[in-house]
């Protein structure tokens, strides 16, 4: 009996030892198949693609939007009669053309509605009492109109149209010149003014003048209106040091400040014109003048 009991405990001990050996071997096999990551061998972080790709935006400078077409303005100061107009738009609000016989104190509506005028492209006093304009009539067809009757009647003059310079009413990326249409420096050119050999317009708050066959950008930026002065361009624009409209003289080579027209809203529709030593501004509901140095 004693011999049998000893044999039984030996068998139990052998089985237990065998179980321990099997466990150790199984754990080693698992470790070999699934090694723990080490700092030198990091696991990648899973990534998920939901079908949307994004790019880091590139910082850009804000660009001023052009003034709404129907709100754009024209101003021409003559000797006896002064003239101004809102542009209007083909298929949109109608333009309004006005005349002042008393230096801007009072204005009279002289819009040739009987001609079906739809949009004004330019307005100029060509004598002390008479004016001409390029305007789009029915179907946005462009004509040059002149008045010799203080705006009571306007007649079409094809020969005047042939030498006029203006932005195409149906394509603001095209400027019409006597030599033929040319591309503007942007897709929405506006505010074109021409005098003699000087042609200037606005694009994205910047002034461009045309010399020969090329457009040249002038300083400053933030421009809202312009008028030629010989080969120079007088520009009304925003400026950090002017609580209103800053006025500068610009050439392809330089820009020099002239004055600050304080109290005017730089966001309001504006037109300017030079007469003698004074610059006249029609801005919002204000009509004022600034003497130039």
> How far apart are the C-alpha atoms of 42 and 190, rounded to whole Å?
61
DSSP states of 208-237 as a string? EEEETTEEEEES-SSEEEEEEETTEEEEEE
Question: Which pLDDT tens digit goes with each residue over 145-179?
Answer: 999 999 999 999 999 999 999 999 999 999 999 99
Res 215: pLDDT: 96
pLDDT digits (tens, 9 = 90+) for 81-130: 999 999 999 999 999 999 999 999 999 999 999 999 999 999 999 999 99
SS3 20: helix
CB atoms within 10 A of CB 119: 25
- Token pair 């040091």 is found at 241
Sign (positive/negative) of CA torsion 233, 236, 239, 245?
A: positive
The two beta strands, 166-167 and 223-229, are unpaired
% of the chain at pLDDT higher than 90: 73
- What does the alpha-carbon distance between residue 219 and residue 172 come to, in Å, rounded to a whole number? 22
Tell me the H-state helices in 94-178: 158-162
- The answer to whether the pTM exceeds 0.95 is no
Q: Which token pair is 287?
A: 């009509």
Say if residue 74's pLDDT is above 80. yes
Contact 261, 236 (CB under 8 A): yes
What is the separation of C-alpha 228 from the centre of its chain, rounded to a whole number of angstroms? 21
Contacts of 125 (CB under 8 A, 6+ apart): 76, 77, 78, 79, 81, 82, 83, 131
Instruction: Write out the two tokens for 244.
Output: 């209103």
At 66 the pLDDT is 57
What is the rounded distance in angstroms from the CA atom of residue 170 to the CA atom of residue 136? 9
Does position 63 have pLDDT exceeding 60, yes or no?
no
Which of 122, 104, 64 lies closest to 281 in space, CA to CA?
104
């Amino acid at each position: 009996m004693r011999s049998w009991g000893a044999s039984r405990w030996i068998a139990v001990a052998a089985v237990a030892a065998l179980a321990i050996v099997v466990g150790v071997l199984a754990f080693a096999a698992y470790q070999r198949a699934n090694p723990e990551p080490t700092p030198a061998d990091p696991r990648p972080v899973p990534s998920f693609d939901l079908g949307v790709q994004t790019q880091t935006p590139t910082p850009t400078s804000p660009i001023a939007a052009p003034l709404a077409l129907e709100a754009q303005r024209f101003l021409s100061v003559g000797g006896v009669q002064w003239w101004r107009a809102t542009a209007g738009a083909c298929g949109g609000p109608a333009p309004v053309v006005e005349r002042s016989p008393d230096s801007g104190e009072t204005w009279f509506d002289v819009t040739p509605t009987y001609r079906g005028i739809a949009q004004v492209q330019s307005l100029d006093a060509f004598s002390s009492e008479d004016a001409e304009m390029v305007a789009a009539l029915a179907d946005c067809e462009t004509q040059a109109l002149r008045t010799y009757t203080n705006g009571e009647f306007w007649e079409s003059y094809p020969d005047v149209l042939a030498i006029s310079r203006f932005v195409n009413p149906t394509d603001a990326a095209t400027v019409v010149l006597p030599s033929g249409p040319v591309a503007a420096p942007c897709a929405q050119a506006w505010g074109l003014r021409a005098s003699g050999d000087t042609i200037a317009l606005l694009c994205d708050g910047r002034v461009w003048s045309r010399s020969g066959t090329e457009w040249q950008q002038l300083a400053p930026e933030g421009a809202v209106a312009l008028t030629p002065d010989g080969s120079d361009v007088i520009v009304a624009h925003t400026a950090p040091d002017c609580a209103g409209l800053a006025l500068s003289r610009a050439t392809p080579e330089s820009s020099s400040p002239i004055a600050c027209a304080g109290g005017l809203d730089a966001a309001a529709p504006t037109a300017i014109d030079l007469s003698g030593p004074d610059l006249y501004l029609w801005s919002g509901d204000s009509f004022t003048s600034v003497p130039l140095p």
